[in-house]
Amino acid sequence: MKGSRIRMVVATGMSALVLSACGASTGASPVSHQTANVAYAGSLQLLNEGTIGPAFAKTSGYGYLGRGAGSFGLAKEIVAGEISPNVFESIGAAPIAELEPSKTSWYVSFAASPIVVAYNPHTSYAPTLKKISQGKLPISRLFGLLDAKGFLLGRTNPNTDPQGQAFYEMVELAVRRMHLPSSLVTGILGALDNPAEVFSETSLEARLEAGQLDAASAFQSQAIQLHLPYIALPAAINFGNPRLAKDYASARLTLTDGAVVHGVPLLVDATVLGHYDARAADAFVRYQLESLGRRAFIHAGYTVFKPIFVGADVPRSVRNAD
């Protein structure tokens, strides 16, 4: 009897050890009903958690579980098996490419999230920024202002964040398209990971709202959802038009690790991963392509367009969305 007790204790201990050593999966498991377990780019947080997630759960009857973070970071976590969502939504397809071919072979683009320059309405530069946003001053004035000494500009890290990459490339494109002095690029941006203006995605908009920055890079959707005034940029430089993909690609950026990236349209791309709860996952993607989902995206400041499917083996239920 004593021996069996010891065995019991040892067995309990060992199973705990094995569980913890394996890093027990945190993903939802299909028990009684299916759940769309969605990992999405941090900028989709307000939309997904506030509108689409709850509405999807209500109308479809499937469960919804979401988590937002940087797209590249999420892709890395998925590859490492740290998280196992069944839907992945990123800004730009590059993070999805990291999951191909083992996790998925397709994605759908259906909305765009143009880059804007959001500004704080109470700092000393605000009146000029407002005039630019209203078209009373030319947009080229913006870039002179961003370069001004003492102007506090915030952006995110291009090494880890697609928005950080796009903002950097946007300045590069703007200087070229508007025939501004090329010294403006380094004047405005400095080093890739410039400590004076690079902040975590988490803190950037908070800093702007707190009045600790004059202006910051933002997606148009973020600016609208956070009620921040912003300067819309021409389509030629805002990475929001899928038809200008070729033009955007002329902007290039060398990351700290030596990798070279080219400009891509900032599209919301979604794909289904893995094999569990596939019906719920398909339904979630389909929901966004149909009228209710589209309306939510438009309301949140995205531009939506006819879905573009890329890759092979798109589930029929997703492809047939109207």
Instruction: Please pick, from the candidates 183, 250, 254, 256, the single residue that binds other proteins as defined by CB under 8 A.
Output: 256
Q: Specify the 3-state DSSP secondary structure of 268.
A: strand
The string of DSSP letters for 152-193 reads -EEB--TTT-HHHHHHHHHHHHHHHHTT--THHHHHHH-STT
Instruction: Please pick, from the candidates 148, 206, 292, 298, the single residue that binds other proteins as defined by CB under 8 A.
Output: 206
> How many residues belong to the site for other proteins (CB under 8 A)?
42
Q: Does 77 bind other proteins (CB under 8 A)?
A: yes
Segment near other proteins (CB under 8 A); pick from 13-21, 129-137, 277-285, 296-304: 13-21
Q: Does 45 bind other proteins (CB under 8 A)?
A: no
Q: Does 195 bind other proteins (CB under 8 A)?
A: yes
The two most distant CA atoms of the chain are separated, in Å, by 88
Where are the strands (E) in the chain, listed by range?
35-41, 63-69, 87-91, 106-112, 115-119, 153-154, 215-219, 230-232, 252-254, 260-262, 267-272, 303-311
Return the residue matching tokens 């910051």.
216
Give whichever of 206 and 292 is closer to other proteins, judged by the CB atom. 206
DSSP state of 278: H
Segment near other proteins (CB under 8 A); pick from 60-68, 125-133, 157-165, 300-308: 157-165
Single-letter residue type at 314: V
Please state whether the peptide bond connecting residue 101 to the residue before it is cis, i.e. omega within 30 degrees of 0.
yes
Alpha helices in 266-320 (DSSP H): 278-289, 291-299, 316-319
Give whichever of 89 and 277 is closer to other proteins, judged by the CB atom. 89
Instruction: Please pick, from the candidates 60, 140, 212, 303, the single residue that binds other proteins as defined by CB under 8 A.
Output: 212
Q: CA-CA distances (angstroms) from residue 303 to 214, 242, 297? A: 26, 11, 7
Instruction: Please pick, from the candidates 3, 4, 21, 243, the single residue that binds other proteins as defined by CB under 8 A.
Output: 21
Give whichever of 139 and 255 is closer to other proteins, judged by the CB atom. 255
Segment near other proteins (CB under 8 A); pick from 52-60, 74-82, 269-277, 278-286: 74-82
Which residues sit at the interface with other proteins, rule CB under 8 A?
5, 8-9, 12-13, 16-17, 19-23, 70, 72-73, 76-77, 79-80, 82, 123, 152, 157, 159-161, 193, 195-196, 198-200, 202-203, 206-207, 210-212, 255-257
